[in-house]
Structure formats: C-alpha cells, structure tokens
C-alpha cells in the first residue's frame, strides 16, 4: 500500500506490533474534528492543521456521543509548520480544497497519500490535475456531527464511511484507515458512491437553503416535495445518459428516505447560508449542471436552483 509507516511499536498486552501512522487533517470543522478523534481512538498520530498559528500545540475537545462524554487533546499546528506530510485527510468545504492544499503543498512527501472526504464533486478532478504524483483517495460518509462551539463536538450518527482510490492501483484501505472505528468500507468504484451522495445533496441541500427549512419539510410540505421530485427526475435523466445506475429505484425514493431519516437536521447548505458562509452549490448543483451542459441535456429545475442559491450567497 502507498502508506509510509512512521513508527512501529510493541503493544505489550498482545505482544503484537502496532502500526502508528501520522495523519495530518486539513479542515477543522465538525468532520475534521470527528475523524481526528476516531484516528486518535484507533491509536494513530494526528495533527489538525489550522490556517493561523495558535499559542498552544493542543486544544481540548469535549465529545458527546449518546450519553458518553470524552475529552480529547487534539494536536494542532499551523499550515506554515515544517513537519512533512505523508498522509493528509482533507475535510474542508469543497470550495476551499485547492487553497487549503496549496498552503501545505511544500510539506507533502513525494508519494504522499491524500484522502478527500467532502461534499460535492469537481474538486477531485482539479486536485488530480494539479498534484498528479500524489496517491489520491476519496470518501463519502453518513457520519453526523456538529459543533455548538469550538470546544465541543456532538456526534449524532456514527454513520458509514466508504473510501476508494481515485488514481492509485491500491485494492485495499491504507492500514491506518482500516484500524478506525467504525471501520470504513473499501469501495473500488468510489465514483459511484460520490455520485450517489452528490445526487442526494442536489435533492435536499438547495431547497432547504432557499426555504430555510429542516430536511423533513421536503417530505412534509407537498409543494416542496414536488420540487424535490422534479430535481430528482432531471438527475435521473442525466445519470442514465452518463450510463450510471446510482440506485435500484428512482432518486426521489432515496432522497425522500434520507429526508425522513434526517428530518430534524438542517442541511449543511442551510447552515452555510445561515452563518453567512459561501455555499458548496457550485460543487453540488453546479457540477451536475456542468455535466448536463456537456451532454447537451437541459436541467431547468436544477439550473433555476443554482441561480437562486448563487443569488442567496451573494446577498
Ligand atoms: O449531507 C447532507 C448535508 O446536509 O450536506 C444531508 C444528507 C442532506 C443531510 O443533511
């Protein structure tokens, strides 16, 4: 595997040797913090990379998962640190990927492994073009977590994480990832998983951001459900034209299931709009519209949403 082993230690209890690898994480939001704690729990060595230097080398993070509360000391370092990076997990917003990676590009070892675990599509291709020598992986996760404040992480769903290679001949997960709890699933065709997540995000995120509603409203309010149905029908047409079968049933059935399962959630796009951040619309609906344009397929409903969310983000 394209994994550099930083340290090998003896675990006295079992007598077995345990691999300790160094992971750097770019993107210190809820997902970055969640995966940092999981890697620490699995005994791996982790540093969260922050844009700006902080006076301390650690920060305390209180994690609440069900009734279990645990406090972690998360090692942090600025992008300008000099430690080399052989394994990098990127959990930034899709639109921040290139800039964030550029800030540490000089620290990457010649055959570094990079794992992109983000919403949206399009950023993967750009990274592949600009960093052809890195071993690039991508993942999708249904894990759910949010941060009421910078010192606290609430884990709402352990979820499932699927990871697969984008440009490497690997046939299994890098060792440090396989050791994680819950163990991610290796997916040889990660593109399909990325498209599935993308299609669900297209169905749910823009509508919830525009209407300022929880995910559940999309199945409770008939007009919203109807709009979601139109979005899904268009995407079904596109994916069929691309020769992909994303789900065994129509996208609307899957989107409705996710809206129901996450009824009380505010989508990440609604959260972005609420907090005055840029949205990932260009990497979600924007990506889908771009793919459709290339095939000469019209997606009027998705195009309208793209313009509306763009206008919303600009205000
Ligand atoms: O991934 C999500 C998001 O909000 O970005 C969904 C699946 C819509 C859950 O909220």
Cα 291 to ligand 1 centre (Å):
21
In degrees, to the nearest 5, what angle opens at C-alpha 152 toward C-alphas 31 and 114? Answer: 25
Whole-number Å distance between alpha carbons of 246 and 250: 9
Pocket test for ligand 1, best of 161, 193, 195, 201 (most atoms within 8 A of CB): 201
Note the pTM of the prediction, 2 decimals: 0.91
Cis peptide before 93 (omega within 30 of 0): no
Whole-number Å distance between alpha carbons of 134 and 86: 10
Q: Are 117 and 35 in contact (CB under 8 A)?
A: yes
The full DSSP string for 222-277 is HHHHHHHHHHHHHHHHHHHHTT----SS-HHHHHHHHHHHTTTPPPHHHHHHHTTP
Cα 268 to ligand 1 centre (Å):
6
- Residue whose CA is at the smallest distance from ligand 1 atom 9: 267
ipTM rounded to 2 decimals: 0.97
Nearest to 205 by CA among 256, 145, 275, 280: 280
CA distances from 9 to 6, 45, 48, 87, 178 (A): 10, 12, 23, 19, 18
Question: Residue 17's pLDDT is what?
Answer: 57
Residues linked to residue 78 through DSSP beta bridges, in sequence order: 50
Pocket test for ligand 1, best of 121, 256, 258 (most atoms within 8 A of CB): 258
Q: Are 116 and 5 in contact (CB under 8 A)?
A: no
Q: Quick one: which H or E segment has residue 96?
A: none
Residue-wise pLDDT tens digits, 125-177: 999 999 999 999 999 999 988 899 989 999 988 889 999 999 888 888 877 77
Give residue 93's pLDDT band: very low, low, confident or very high (50, 70, 90). very high
Residue-wise pLDDT tens digits, 105-129: 999 999 899 999 999 999 999 999 9
For residues 255-270, one letter each, b for 16 or more C-beta atoms within 10 angstroms of the residue's C-beta and e for the rest, the string is bbebbeebeebbbbbb
Task: Return mean pLDDT, the chain.
Answer: 91
């Amino acid at each position: 595997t394209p994994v550099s082993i930083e340290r090998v230690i003896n675990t006295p209890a079992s007598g077995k040797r345990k691999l300790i690898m160094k992971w750097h994480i770019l993107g210190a939001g809820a997902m970055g913090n969640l995966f940092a704690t999981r890697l620490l729990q699995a005994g791996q060595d982790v540093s969260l990379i922050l844009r700006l230097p902080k006076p301390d080398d650690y920060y305390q993070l209180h994690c609440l998962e069900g009734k279990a509360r645990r406090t972690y000391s998360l090692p942090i370092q600025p992008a300008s640190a000099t430690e080399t990076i052989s394994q990098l997990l990127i959990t930034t917003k899709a639109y921040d990927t290139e800039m964030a990676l550029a800030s540490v590009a000089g620290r990457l070892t010649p055959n570094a492994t990079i794992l992109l675990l983000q919403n949206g599509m399009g950023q993967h291709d750009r990274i592949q073009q600009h960093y052809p020598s890195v071993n690039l992986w991508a993942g999708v996760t249904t894990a759910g977590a949010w941060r009421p404040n910078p010192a606290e992480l609430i884990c709402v769903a352990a979820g499932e994480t699927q990871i697969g290679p984008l440009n490497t001949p690997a046939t299994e997960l890098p060792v440090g990832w396989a050791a994680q709890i819950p163990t991610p699933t290796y997916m040889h065709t990660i593109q399909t998983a990325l498209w599935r997540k993308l299609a669900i995000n297209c169905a749910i995120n823009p509508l919830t951001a525009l209407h300022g509603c929880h995910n559940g409203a999309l199945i409770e309010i008939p007009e919203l459900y109807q709009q979601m149905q139109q979005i899904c029908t268009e995407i079904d047409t596109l994916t069929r034209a691309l020769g992909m079968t994303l789900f065994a049933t129509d996208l609307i059935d899957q989107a409705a299931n996710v809206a129901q399962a996450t009824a009380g959630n505010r989508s990440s796009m609604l959260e972005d709009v609420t907090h005055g951040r840029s949205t990932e619309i260009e990497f979600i609906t924007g990506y889908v519209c771009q793919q459709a344009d290339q095939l000469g397929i019209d997606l009027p409903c998705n195009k309208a949403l793209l313009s509306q969310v763009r206008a919303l983000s600009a205000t």
